[in-house]
Amino acid sequence: MRKLIFALALLPAAAFTAQAYVYQAYNGNVNFDHRMHREKLQLKCPECHNGPPRHFDLGKAAAHQLCIGCHKKLAKGPAIHCADCHKPS
């Protein structure tokens, strides 16, 4: 019983430690490393998430605004050419 309670207690923490997502795109998928962005850049959840932190899908316009906008603002990472993020699968 203790193991079950411990496992259930870890579930919320697992949501915040998700590491990688692949966003599908017609011109090549975009790999997103959540942990790297959160830890290396020391980003706080509200900087990307509207409301409680959770996985969300991004459409083209939203992704370009959120991702490219942040890359330009921080002057880090790819933000110039599509192929910087979009990689053929």
Sequence ranges of the domains in the chain: 18-87
CATH of domain 18-87: 3.90.10.10
Query: In the numeric block, which tokens belong to residue 41?
Result: 């850049």
Helix (H, G, I), strand (E, B) or coil at 57: coil
- The pLDDT tens digits for 18-71 are 688 888 899 999 999 999 888 888 888 888 888 888 877 788 898 899 999 999
pTM comes to: 0.66
CA distances, 46 to each of 1, 4, 53 (Å)? 36, 31, 8
